[in-house]
Chain A
Amino acid sequence: GAVVSQHPSWVICKSGTSVKIECRSLDFQATTMFWYRQFPKQSLMLMATSNEGSKATYEQGVEKDKFLINHASLTLSTLTVTSAHPEDSSFYICSKLRDLRAFFGQGTRLTVV
């Protein structure tokens, strides 16, 4: 099946710092990558859709200046949480589609202290 590699799997950072999360498509080129956030005991919420070579499409309520998405190549998409605050602590996960099926990275658990 399709493989998505995401790292880091967990990160603890100080409030005010920035954190970059990477997602790599290992088996085929992914022109589109989806970024989700999941708070404890809540569902996956789509944050943005990352498109190779163009600007990401953000969902309503997601600050594009705070969550910077870069999709510079067909195999790599990155999400940078800028000036992170404790309320940004969450599980961030990327996914790509193949034949309409979603394949996920392993997820990144971010804790901002």
Chain B
Amino acid sequence: RKEVEQDPGPFNVPEGATVAFNCTYSNSASQSFFWYRQDCRKEPKLLMSVYSSGNEDGRFTAQLNRASQYISLLIRDSKLSDSATYLCVVNERKTSYDKVIFGPGTSLSVIP
């Protein structure tokens, strides 16, 4: 089983739609969780952290379920500029270093 798995995608949605991305992780000791966005041929950029209580940033809502080892990202009122690949990221704190694990990403295309 892969350490971090995501919906395979791609997701093609019309403008204004609501879209949800799912992510699961295998290591129950994972400590921190993030969603990154990566545009074509660019470096990933942090979209938002994911907290156990759930958190919202404008049109974006992230949820974490530690018991199920599941993370989600909800995008409401999709914009054309939301088209990108969304990466689920899980951090594990080892004794002497931190390990960052990226999911394979889910591609989103928002269509006019």
Give chain A's interface residues, CB within 8 Å of chain B.
32, 34, 36, 42-44, 46, 49, 51, 91, 93, 95, 97, 100-107, 109
Give chain B's interface residues, CB within 8 Å of chain A.
31-32, 34, 36, 41-46, 49, 87, 89, 91, 93, 97-98, 100-105
A70 vs B71: C-alpha distance when bound (angstroms):
35
Judged by DSSP, the binding face of B is strand
A29 vs B87: C-alpha distance when bound (angstroms):
26
A42 vs B40: C-alpha distance when bound (angstroms):
11
- Which residues in A have their C-beta under 8 angstroms from that of B87? 43-44
Residue among A32, A43, A106 making CB contact with B102, cutoff 8 Å: A43
Are A91 and B41 interface neighbours, CB within 8 A? yes
A13 vs B43: C-alpha distance when bound (angstroms):
22
Are A104 and B43 interface neighbours, CB within 8 A? yes
Q: Give the distance to chain B from A17, nearest Cβ to Cβ, in Å.
A: 23
A42 vs B45: C-alpha distance when bound (angstroms):
17
A91 vs B105: C-alpha distance when bound (angstroms):
16
